[in-house]
Homo-oligomer: A and B are copies of this chain.
Amino acid sequence: MAYKEEYPSRLLSDAVEAISSLPGVGRRSALRLALHLLRQPVENVHHFTEAVNRLRDGVQYCRTCSMISDTEQCAICSDSKRDHGIICVVESVRDVMSIEATGQFNGVYHVLGGIISPIAGVGPSDLTISALEERVKGGGCREVILALDGDVEGETTAFYIYRRLQPFGVTLTSLARGLGFGDSLEYADSLTLGRSIVNRQIFKV
């Protein structure tokens, strides 16, 4: 049969297929990336695939907070200068990185590894909630910050954790909600604007 395939080579077609399985990468971009990789020296391509394999094969999670770590206990949990009495509960590794980037938090974290979502089939037992309960039960924790998204699933998960931790007498807090810095009132949604009036703060100069 003549050349009527979409791709001139099975190897190319397989690579495009694999690359386009990445989120946000369509078949056109995947082809562009595959042809780019073909133009690179072999060792660069091997360096790329090895870095990806090493990440997936070698990844460890902190035994305390479930953050990605190169060691059994992550750098934050091993840091005696941090306040181990405040645990900030987040959905994902990326949230820890975002909060760390603000430089405003000196406590420790607990990564849930997801959010409760009946639609996606994720229940409490798929997350690290029992480990969080054990941490709190273990003592030494004064406050748990529920730093979850403001959507239905985030609120549901926060409420569930609130119920689980309430018996242990720790303070449970959530992130302040309100207008973003620099936001204009005109464009704020009414729920956010309403909450920011109810939770108004003393004006400081």
Interface string of A39-81 (1 = CB under 8 A from B): 0101011111111111111111000000111100011100101
Are the C-beta atoms of B38 and A29 separated by less than 8 Å? no
Decide if B8 touches A38 in the complex (CB within 8 Å).
no
Number of copies: 2
A103-134 contacts to B (CB < 8 Å): none
B51 touching A46, Cβ below 8 Å: no
Contact code string A87-110 (vs B, CB < 8 Å = 1, else 0): 000001110110010000000000
Q: 14 A-B pairs, CB-CB below 8 angstroms?
A: A2-B75, A3-B76, A8-B68, A8-B74, A12-B59, A18-B51, A19-B52, A22-B36, A23-B36, A37-B56, A38-B68, A38-B93, A45-B53, A46-B56
